[in-house]
A and B are shown apart, each in its own frame.
Chain A
Amino acid sequence: MGQYEMMMARQRKWMFYLLAVLVMGAGFTPYVRIFLGLLLGSVISFYNLYLLQKKINDFAEAVAKKASAKGLGTISRFAAAAVAIIIALRFEEYFSIIAVIIGLMTSYLVIMIDFFVFRNKQ
């Protein structure tokens, strides 16, 4: 397993742990609206992370094989974030908008923490 694949697996694992914690928070605490917002944002953020990992892998593979490379999926990620916010605005009684925004940023937090933790180990 290469360095990139290991990083992908680690980041997905941490995102799954985070999602599990958020589901438990929504199920067992009285702050349902906040945790549902965080959950919605984190699910979309996880989709964005998966898309970024996959697209960059495909892109680098295409470059290495000297084939024509397709895009990086930037518009898809913007659209996913827009969908999350539109859902939060439409169902405001179930989702806290601030929590959705914080949830959308979780994958960046995971990327940065993973980078700083494993930078010196490799």
Chain B
Amino acid sequence: MGALAAAIAVGLGALGAGVGNGLIVSRTVEGIARQPELRGQLQTTMFIGVGLVEAMPIIAVVIALIVM
């Protein structure tokens, strides 16, 4: 049961992060393609967004490994 719990924790965490990252990256790509001179600013926003979105699944991985 521990392995199942770990799998569900990582899976749901990664699902949420995947959707979040997808939204952030798609908007950034759209922005850079439209205005390449704003690349630095958009890249910075994307970096902060992706970084914060990925904090949660990393915690999920940690919790999954502890409960296993």
Q: Contacts A60-B32, A78-B61 known; A108 to B52 CB distance under 8 Å?
A: yes
Q: Contacts A60-B46, A63-B29, A64-B39 known; A112 to B62 CB distance under 8 Å?
A: no
Does chain A have a CB within 8 A of B48? yes
CB within 8 Å of B: which A49-98 residues? 49, 52-53, 56-57, 59-60, 63-64, 66, 69, 72, 74, 77-78, 81-82, 85-86, 89, 97
Q: Contacts A4-B44, A85-B66, A101-B62 known; A108 to B51 CB distance under 8 Å?
A: yes
Alpha-carbon distance A104/B28, docked complex (angstroms): 27
User: Which partner residue on chain A sits nearest B24 by CB separation?
Assistant: A72
Q: B48 and A60: CB pair below 8 A?
A: no
CB within 8 Å of A: which B1-58 residues? 10, 14, 17, 21, 25, 28-29, 32-33, 36, 39-44, 46-48, 50-52, 54-55, 57-58
> How many chain A residues have a CB neighbour from B under 8 Å?
34
Does chain B have a CB within 8 A of A2? yes
Does chain B have a CB within 8 A of A105? yes
Alpha-carbon distance A115/B58, docked complex (angstroms): 21
Does chain B have a CB within 8 A of A7? yes
Q: A: which residues have CB within 8 A of B?
A: 2-4, 7, 48-49, 52-53, 56-57, 59-60, 63-64, 66, 69, 72, 74, 77-78, 81-82, 85-86, 89, 97, 101, 104-105, 107-108, 111-112, 115
